[in-house]
Structures are given as C-alpha cells and as structure tokens.
Structure 1
C-alpha cells in the first residue's frame, strides 16, 4: 500500500516527461494534479515571432530570466484554427504532436529547465492572413499560464519553402540548463510583428513621421478595437519609457496618457495626466495610476521596450471623461531615456502628434501634425547667423577701403552691403523668434540651453539696429562709446548664435542628425581662417604703404575725428584684389554650408525622408 501511495505522489509532482498529450490540443489546459488552476495575471514569458521568406522563427523566453519546464505551442488563425507545421529538428527541447494535421503543435521533450526556446514554423501552402502563436507555458508542475499569445504575424503566399538564408542554430545537447542567449537584432524591420495588421486590423501611429510605412519607428502605438475592448500596443527602441496620449489637439497639455515603463527588469503600466501652459509641461501620475488600464504583456527584448495594455472604453480622468467609443482624439506618442519610481523624464528620444482627431476604431493611416513653423524657425536662423550676419560682419571689419569711390544708394559700397545684410539678419531673426512661440505657445520644456541662448541672441540682435540708427555723428565725444558698444553687441550676438545652433542639434523637435555638428565645425573653421588671413593681409598692407589701411582694427574703435576709418576716402588699400577674391570664395563656401543645413533642417529627419524617397522610387520602378 505504501508503495502505491509513493508512486501516486511522484506522478502528481512531476511534469509529464513526454510533453503534453493530444487530448489538450484545443483547450491548451493541462490536467495537472487532477485539476490545478492556471495562474492569473500577466505571464512572465513572451512569444516573439520573426518572419523571413515563407517561414516564421519563434522564440519563447522570459524578460525576467525565469526558466520554464514545459510548454505546448501552436499557430492559430483569427478563427482559432490550428495550422502550420513545426520543424522539430531546429530545437533539442521539443517534439511535434498532431492535433489536426501532422506536426501542427510542439511540446517539450523533458521537464528540465529551459531558459529559451527557438523553433521554426512553416504555414501551409497557399495560406494568407494573420497568425497568432498560442502556448501553455509551465514554470513548474503547479505553476503554469494558459493562452500566452504572441503579436500577430501577417503571412503572405509562401514563395520559399526552405529558405537557406534563414537558420536558427540548433541547441547543443546538455545536461544542465543553458543561459538564455540574446535575440539577434534583425538587419531589416521587415520581420517586426508589431507592424503586422497596421491600417488593416489596427490603427498605428509612430515617430518619426512615416515610420510605420518604413517599419522604422523610434516609438509607436497600435490600437486594436474589438467591440468595447481597446488594446494599446506600445514599443520604443532603447528607451526607459514609452507613452501614448489622448488629446483634443496636437499640443501637449490636459491629456490622458498611458505610460509603459521599464525599471529593475520589470515592465509596468501607469495612467498619467499632462499639464500644459501656462504651467511648465510635465506628466503627473494619477493617485490611482492603474485607473481604467490593465497590463496584458510587457517585455524588453534586444533593447526594444514593448507592452500591451487594455484600456476601459470610458474613463474619468481629472474630471474629464474619455469616451473611446463615441469621441475622436489626437494621438501623442513619445519616449524618453530615463524614468524614476514616480514619474518619467522629458521625451528626449521622440515625440510626435497626429494632425487631426480620429476614432480609435478607424484603422486608416494617421498623418503627423505639421512641423512647418519649427522648420521655418530653424531655416531662418541658419540663413541669418551663418549667412547674412557672417558676411555683414566681414565687410564691416575688412572692406572699408575696398571699392573706394563706388557708392550704392549714396553710401560707400562696404557700408551699403553691411547695412543690407544686417537688416536681413534682424528681419530673419525676429520672424524666426515669433514663429517658434506661435508653434510652442509656451517656453520650451527641454532641458537644453538653446531656448535661453536663442532669446539672448534675439534681444541683442533686436537692439543693434536701433542703436545704429541713433549713432552719434563722427567727431563727437560719444562716437567712440558707440563704436565699442556696436562692435561688442554685434560680435557677442554672433558668437552666442553659433553656440545656440550647436545646441539645436540636440533638440528632440529638431530631429537633426549628429553629423550636423561637423558641418557647423566646418563653418567655424572657415570663418576663423578667413578672419586670420584678412588680418594678416591688412598688417602687411600697413607695412607696404606710407598710409595706414583702415580695416576697422581695434584701435579705430576709439577714433572720434573725421579722419577715422568711417570717412577715409583714399584709394583702395593694397591687396584689394586679393581681398575681393577671398570674399568671393568665402561667400561661396558660406552659401554651400547654409544651403546644406537648410535642406537637412527642412527634410528632418533626413534619414527617414531619404528612406521614404528611395522606397517610393523603387515602388514606382
């Protein structure tokens, strides 16, 4: 009798050594211990499908590093039909069983601990449509999850049965558990299951603009609606958090936000509320941060943060009702590089708002809100401070005795062009400053000194022509004071403006590539070398001539008499032709640099724009 009892006890605490039997094919419910219930809540395991050619590679793993002992894995259609064929030769941990057709399900070989499972699945000939991989995963005999689902994968008509370019290394036989190996990052986004069904069965929106088409989003949201069930999928690359906001406009402020945050090897979901102007921008979590949401799945695989969240169709957030069934909303998608236990940081990795409101059940593509004013702001500032200001300053400093005797509108040539370029600088800067405040309607929320330095530059630029208009007449005692102030304010504004442009490269809204820094460095080198060469020419000219060349040297700033550089009417100074040639070369280089930066700014993010253009050309061909 004791032998029988011991035998029954052993059977009741050990996972089935030969895997799941065909009797559980439809329900996926194991009969452990005479009826042990499956675990509730979010499973610590993820099923990650990756498509290539006519087959799908599947990885079962835990982002928390929790091993599992048993499993039963199947591919199913939206109608819950089991289909396809697993290749059991691609894994040492499982074998196939027949639930409907041969090899349409895969189960474990033994109850040993497994840190991951890699296997290849092949759809039947001629099948087209979405596939979801379902599994029962047993951490131990009495701890298991039923109905663990993968993201859907779209299957097109199979053209390659045995794709030689795709091969998952077989796991070598081992008597001890192996460590979970990292999932190889795919060289192409073609196999990212997140985008499967976009604009067909779910609404997708991501940053930067058009990234859903290219499957290259830094952050993205997908909304699937089934009756009154609203499920949000969020993903972001190399981010600490990703969030989606429901808004009445395309600006941040008074919005309901779902955050997906990773900390300490956990993925958590929270509900938060954004503030807006006149207060500083920010997202504060609700006192009940799980209000109306339920985290269904979360993982961090190969640096990609992913979560799936179900949100109630009706929620009352901060006294505002969000009715997902009857109302339309703008979508705001964002991601950031850091988060704390109580809040997320600024969205320093990505941010994008949709251009118009849309029902979440409408799966048609969402256009991004226009960034025209931001782009114009950047283009105008580049034209002003790299272009017109640079040339205007050079003319005033080194070309006062060039084109002597030639006048434009009754003024010396150098002065007429200097004034023209500086008026253009003033106008471009003023318009750019107004445009960015029209766009933001508030102070910038980014922790970047660009906004402060840009404001200082604009103030200095604004007062410079006003001071010049009221400049004292040559020969008066206050003229030297004006000369020094005019020189100091002008050069200070120019230097601060260049520093401001360097900081602009790091702005999230600018979306500029890092190599823009090197283009700005090239400008600085050209500008400094030009000043040095022209200064050497002026010193040489002074030694080769009995009269002094007036090139606006520092000592002339204190001149107050009529014989100062402002009124010198002597012929062109020595090396005048050389200076003219250098000016022509300088202007050509500056024009090239300014045009390049304006094009990059207008098309930003230029990497994605180039990818879109290339894809369009290829499609047309």
Structure 2
C-alpha cells in the first residue's frame, strides 16, 4: 500500500493549512500519527485545529498543546482530513511527517511532504518591483542555508524548489559571507494566489543585491539593513561583462533632486523674501510690481514646476497607486495638492483693497505652511540617502536662515539708500 499526504497547495502564506491523508486503491489503515517540524530539525511547531472526531485526537509533546495528531481507535479508514495552524512568529520552512499503520505488523514511517514555506517573509523592496526571482544565502552559528523564492510587491514567498540549485557552497571569512551556486536556465516560482511565473535566463534581467540579518534562532530573513543595489542595465547571463550598480535608479534620483531643490532652495527663498524683504527697493518696479513680489512669484512658480515634474515621473515609474502605497507616497500627493491650490490661489488673488483680501492672505499663508510641514515629513519618511542628506541641509538652513536673511536685508536696504 502507498500512503500520501496531500495538501491544498504546495506553497502557502496563510497560517492555516488543510491536509488530506489518503491511501491508494482505497486500502484502509487503522493507525496514524502526524506532526509538523521545522525544516531539517526535530522541533515540533504549530497545532492541529480540526480533525475527524470519530477517528483522531490531538496530543501534546515538549510542553506545547495539540502539536501532534494520532488515532483515537482502531477503526479502519481510507482518508482523513485535518487542519493545522502555524505559530504567529516566523519559523521558516516546515515539513509534515506521518506514520501510517495498516495492520499491527504492517506500517509505513516517515511519510512526509516537501519543504513548505510557513509565512511570507520581509524582503528588500524599495522600488517598484514585482515577480522578482530571489535566491537567498544565510549563515548563522556555523550553519548556512540557501532559499529560493519570489518577490511580489513587498513580500517574499519562499518555494519548495531549492533542490534545483546545485553546487551550493558558502564560506564566512572576516565578517563577509561568500556564496556560490548553479541554477537551471529556466525556473518557475509560485506566489500565494497560485500564479506561476517563469524565469528564463536566456533573457536579460536586472540583478539586485541586498543584505541584512536573520530572526534570532532561525534562518528567516529580516528587513534589509541598507538600500539594496541594483544593476543599472539589464544583464545578459551568457556574456562576461562588468556592470555598474546603484541603490537609486536614475528616475528616483531625478525625483529626489527636483524635490530637494524645490523645497530647500526655492521654497526657502520664496518664504524669506516675502517675510523679510518687502521694504527692499521700495521705489523700483519690475514689470509693474515690486521687486520682492517678482522674486516671490518666480520662485513659487519654479517650486510648482519642479514638484509637478517630480510627481509625474515618479508616478509613472511606480505605475500609479496600488494597494501597497506607503506614507511617503501619500505625503507627496498631499504636497502636490497644496502646491496646486497655491497656484490657483495666486491666479485668483484679489486686489489689495478687496474686502476678501485678508481671507486670501490667511489661506495663502496656511496652505503654504502646510505644504512645508508635509514636505518636511516626507523627507523623514523616505528611506534613501538623498533624503537623509536633504534633512541635514534642511535643518541647517532653518537654523541659520533667520539670522542670515536679517543681515542681508539690512545690507540691501542700506545699499539702496
């Protein structure tokens, strides 16, 4: 008799798993014991939630409750269905093991499934990514592992196909981990919905490298320590070439440069001029308006153009909004909305003697300050190096702007007189 463990899917990401224990040719069995182990260990994990009351019961081992299931009587059956629930914490790959008994002197031991991934893992995803093939090498306490998976948006799903990797070697020297392996030219990966993606290395791909830590006592990866680096160009795997890599793609760098220039340089100039330089050159007009207002208007329009261009290019890069939009994206949308309101308000600005002019002034000031605060918050939420540099420059400008602008204002007024 051949006995099998049949699962509803091969890989999964939810905590609950339904299994069917079935015998070929409808031959009955009278006994069974089954449990779930962390891959390549004897550690039992999880618990069995539901089972056939008339045939099976749960038991406790190693202090945990309901972590194995066994027969409650010697009634003969040809199929059993059970549900297992995984622990809440990450534990990596697991395997289901069972022993079946047809007769008291005829039984099968160590019937098991392939390695199963218990839960989706944190993965280094910083750009618009999806359907990325991943190969992970880990090392902890003298033990190394290789893992094969697929990145979908912001999650990595480990597969049970690591065996297709061959010639795997690792070494850990002077704080550095060295890994090498051989993989097939064509490999598949399946996400949590059961969708299969095929990777064919006859085609060029970008290559990304990320590094980080493991959850204590496991081979489960945590979020990467730093921004992953990605090859600037797609790599042809049948060629021997030297490639450059960067942690920030060109479009992302352009987005950051435009935003930093707009909200540190031009917003700073527009604010300081409107606040401190109105008395400057009181008798001079440029195109019919005072000098300070022309500078203020020019810098404000520049902020709008830079913000709009930056917003549009990054919006197209990430293919619009998705279910996984982060705080930084929402802050950017809010900033863009405020800038648009400011531009509309500038076009509809009432004359100085209009009775609604005070209302306009308060709204103009309030929306402008809100935009500055939101932009500042977006710098803090962004996890790339250009944003960190921007934060430092931003605070230094804020710290010295008042003193410097006052000195410059006095100089300009004295020179004009």
TM-score of the two chains, using structure 1 as the length reference: 0.41
> 1:208-247 to 2 correspondence within 5 Å?
none
State whether structure 2 residue 145 is matched by structure 1 residue 260: no
Q: Which runs of 5+ in 2 are unaligned?
A: 1-120, 191-195
Contact 1:296 1:309 in 2 (8 A): yes
State whether structure 2 residue 240 is matched by structure 1 residue 366: no
State whether structure 2 residue 228 is matched by structure 1 residue 351: yes
Q: CA deviation at 1:577?
A: 4.7
For these two proteins, the number of residue pairs brought into alignment is: 287
Query: Residues 399 and 422 of structure 1: is their aligned pair in 2 closer, same or farther, counting only changes over 3 Å?
Result: same
CA distance in 2, matches of 1:272, 1:524: 46
* Counterpart pick for 1:578 among 397, 400, 411: 411
Q: Paired residue for 2:154?
A: 281
* Counterpart pick for 2:396 among 509, 522, 537: 522
CA distance in 2, matches of 1:453, 1:312: 43
SS in 1 for 2:162: coil
Q: CA deviation at 1:457?
A: 2.1
Q: Paired residue for 1:408?
A: 286
Contact 2:285 2:291 in 1 (8 A): yes
Q: Paired residue for 2:303?
A: 425
Deviations 1:255-308 (A, max 9, x none): 321111335553211110122xxxx4322112x152522472224333322222
SS in 2 for 1:331: coil
Q: Paired residue for 2:206?
A: 331
> 1:72-151 to 2 correspondence within 5 Å?
none
Contact 2:231 2:245 in 1 (8 A): yes
Q: Paired residue for 1:322?
A: 199
Q: CA deviation at 1:347?
A: 4.2
Query: Residues 274 and 428 of structure 1: is their aligned pair in 2 closer, same or farther, counting only changes over 3 Å?
Result: same
Q: Paired residue for 1:298?
A: 170
Q: CA deviation at 1:444?
A: 9.7
CA distance in 1, matches of 2:414, 2:223: 49
SS in 2 for 1:330: coil
Query: Residues 282 and 329 of structure 1: is their aligned pair in 2 closer, same or farther, counting only changes over 3 Å?
Result: farther
CA distance in 1, matches of 2:387, 2:361: 40
CA distance in 2, matches of 1:501, 1:580: 35
SS in 2 for 1:416: helix
> 1:38-49 to 2 correspondence within 5 Å?
none
CA distance in 1, matches of 2:414, 2:317: 42
CA distance in 1, matches of 2:308, 2:186: 46
Q: CA deviation at 1:385?
A: 1.3
Q: Paired residue for 1:487?
A: 365
Contact 2:260 2:390 in 1 (8 A): no
Query: Residues 389 and 444 of structure 1: is their aligned pair in 2 closer, same or farther, counting only changes over 3 Å?
Result: farther
What CA RMSD, in Å, does the superposition of the two structures yield over aligned residues? 3.8
Is the deviation greater in 335-344 or in 407-416?
A: 335-344
SS in 1 for 2:300: helix
SS in 1 for 2:279: coil
CA distance in 1, matches of 2:268, 2:410: 20
Query: Residues 577 and 518 of structure 1: is their aligned pair in 2 closer, same or farther, counting only changes over 3 Å?
Result: closer
Q: CA deviation at 1:417?
A: 1.6
Query: Residues 290 and 368 of structure 1: is their aligned pair in 2 closer, same or farther, counting only changes over 3 Å?
Result: same
Q: CA deviation at 1:428?
A: 0.7
Q: Greater strand share, 1 or 2?
A: 2
Structure number, greater radius of gyration: 1
CA distance in 1, matches of 2:136, 2:170: 12
Contact 1:292 1:311 in 2 (8 A): yes
Contact 2:165 2:183 in 1 (8 A): yes
